[in-house]
Structure 1
């Protein structure tokens, strides 16, 4: 097995669209109507708890100073500390952070974790900065966030264009601002760190492994053998790579892949590690990969396949292209890859969708394991971690699938209903202060 993608950031998608809080609220309200959510709790969950915007200066390699804008949105912490990633991307703004933070609340709740939801990042194109500049930007951002993050308050993690290295810089900066006696007790301020810096074995593959497991569980429920099934993947970063790697072991065949630079197709199949090694040798680009044909970007979603895996950014499937999709099954590796209008078209066409808050939840479950490992001063082994991940994700999938079948609703509504009801119970039991 190659670990080539372990510390690589996510590949940016071709369409630089951003997720919107409006879309998440529409999904939330659909599920809230379905379960008859308490109207007072609906009010609470419809808004964020805190929205933090920081502007901070950083000296560049040439001696000039640039001002950056960073965001951290904390949606809800009824179940525990805020939890969610930080991304470095030009589409990052307060509205996108709101949407992503809400998704994290539902995702953590659905997985049965003692976490709430948060999200954020910096509005930046990291490809325009050197590694030393990115380190200074990250450290200054962490310092600017100050006490708005913390191991029992808000726990960031990697996301698009951030990595284990980013988290190591954040952890070191945060711990350096604590008193000497407290530094060792704050290692779990972030998750997704390198293994040698307190990270979790297998964290690199956890999200992609979860996407793969969701596909496998769905196939088992529908008596489908994955061997020789064809699939296409949008995004060949960490999630796209590991999802593909595990599917290849099941005998499934990657026939199409798209990243920020190119769209490839080979009906006879593309070898995952060959493509990964080529990408690493070519500045994380799959362009001109010799064992596939390069096709037009807009033709990607029109490729006929058994499984479609959007694993890039949000709003990639919309009313503009949903009608050309030629698959019966979509597994959402990214957060919000399908907008509400696009989903309406897909559902009308009878295409099954495993929603993001279920499908890509392997990452937040593994983050919980890392947080526990750091907090308790333990070191978990790979086989133990993967076994725990299997069990946790199977429980979540079975709950959603059975609810969907019993209530005759789509899997997204089922997943939201289960997640929201858990939070509703917490509010009912605890009451509203004062």
Structure 2
């Protein structure tokens, strides 16, 4: 394993995700020498929607829920971004996530802008029938603020294909019968039987794996026998680990919302996955592993660290403990600006979120096209298309990084923001 330097740092005041994304944007805007007028536009969101809506629970009582949809920018095409159900959601976090989506879709060369949304709730506290009613009522409240050519939601934290099926059905039900089939692509990430894409479930995690693979190939590093840790063992973390294990890498640590485990001899990805399915999604008490403290997780000895949970997880407090030579951001905004400075100073490279986890939105684009054109694509074809697209994007970021002497995040932002700037310059600003 490559040795990395230990570094002691002076603690700074904690920053939220919105402050984080704005710092990243301002740094990149200076690098691009972004037009000041366009900078003003991109610093703020286009639309911010907060909805309070009532839903009747199974026991007959009514609860009021708070939902969000933030549309950051649509200079390149319809707004695109996930919906998450989580108690920590607030307007600032959704604004940050919407901005990241703008940079992500631009970097990937997709005809989309950026949006994000969700409901402030803990979905584990509600029955399946309650979740369906909550989702359908939220969709109805969103109304024409979403649409297949306007704003296209997708799954995110604590939402899945079933959630998208409910949204699609509710939205289509508000249309005239002759128009319903034309609105199937109002969301992506649907079940296969409801117009979903083969392989969409693994697209984000597969993209994380491909990003690591491309990075390793460029560095002439073999993934076989390399060790990795994963924070978050949901859809993204599991699939990234699955493909890495197929390449001969070894998972030595996992953390989820319930606990943290490690085993330097290795943890079987598939066996742990089967264990979580039988234990309410939890990794806790998995056999042949050691329970570790939450704060010790990022200090587990490994080669590759994959944060694939929530934002602001790698901070200036735990960044000095990381022993990996590579951080691959499976989550959106998992590393604070201050933490990244520490990592880079220690010689640890970071594959940024807007590149590393873009497999999900690229897969969403394929599903959107499939629905729009009335086509059906096979899994093998989809994975080939996904790898080809990600390889092109990764190569562009790598070239910009090397030619301009930038870290990978700065290079990725440089490309993303420059593309949006060009669109504004060519089109002009109305009136």
Q: Which interval holds the TM-score relative to the shorter structure?
A: over 0.9
In the TM superposition, 1:208-247 aligns within 5 A as 208-247=205-244
Asked whether 1:371 is paired with 2:348, we answer: no
Asked whether 1:181 is paired with 2:175, we answer: no
In the TM superposition, 1:155-170 aligns within 5 A as 155-170=152-167
Structure 2 residue aligned with 1:252, among 249, 271, 275?
Answer: 249
The aligned residue for residue 87 of structure 1 is 84
**Residue-by-residue CA offset, 1:155-189 (whole Å, 9 max, x unaligned):** 00000000000000000000001111110000000
The aligned residue for residue 429 of structure 2 is 432
Structure 1 spans left out of the alignment, 5+ residues: 1-16
**Residue-by-residue CA offset, 1:231-279 (whole Å, 9 max, x unaligned):** 0000000000000000001000000001111211111111111000000
In 1, the alpha carbon distance for the partners of 2:15 and 2:210 equals: 27
1:279 partner SS: helix
2:25 partner SS: helix
Structure 2 residue aligned with 1:77, among 74, 78, 95?
Answer: 74
- The 1:18–1:246 alpha-carbon spacing in structure 2 relative to 1, beyond 3 Å, is farther
In 2, the alpha carbon distance for the partners of 1:211 and 1:420 equals: 22
In the TM superposition, 1:21-420 aligns within 5 A as 21-420=18-417
Residue 20 of structure 1, CA deviation = 2.1
Residue 427 of structure 1, CA deviation = 0.4
Q: Over aligned residue pairs, what C-alpha RMSD do you find? A: 0.9
2:264 partner SS: coil
Structure 2 spans left out of the alignment, 5+ residues: 1-13
The aligned residue for residue 6 of structure 1 is none
**Residue-by-residue CA offset, 1:204-251 (whole Å, 9 max, x unaligned):** 000000000000000000000000000000000000000000000100
In 1, the alpha carbon distance for the partners of 2:419 and 2:288 equals: 48
1:124 partner SS: coil
In 2, the alpha carbon distance for the partners of 1:108 and 1:55 equals: 29
In 2, the alpha carbon distance for the partners of 1:426 and 1:277 equals: 47
**Residue-by-residue CA offset, 1:36-88 (whole Å, 9 max, x unaligned):** 00111101111000001111000000000000000000000000000000000
In 1, the alpha carbon distance for the partners of 2:295 and 2:96 equals: 26
Greater Cα shift, 363-372 or 320-329 = 320-329
Q: Is the 8 A contact 1:256 1:300 kept in 2?
A: yes
The aligned residue for residue 14 of structure 1 is none
Q: Is the 8 A contact 1:257 1:265 kept in 2?
A: yes
The runs of at least 4 consecutive aligned structure 1 residues that moved more than 3 Å come to none
Q: Is the 8 A contact 1:214 1:397 kept in 2?
A: yes
Q: Is the 8 A contact 1:304 1:327 kept in 2?
A: yes
1:312 partner SS: coil
1:375 partner SS: helix
- The 1:134–1:19 alpha-carbon spacing in structure 2 relative to 1, beyond 3 Å, is farther
Residue 340 of structure 1, CA deviation = 1.1
2:390 partner SS: helix
Residue 18 of structure 1, CA deviation = 9.5
Q: Is the 8 A contact 1:111 1:361 kept in 2?
A: yes
In 2, the alpha carbon distance for the partners of 1:320 and 1:270 equals: 27
TM-score normalised according to structure 2 size:
0.96
Residue 19 of structure 1, CA deviation = 5.2
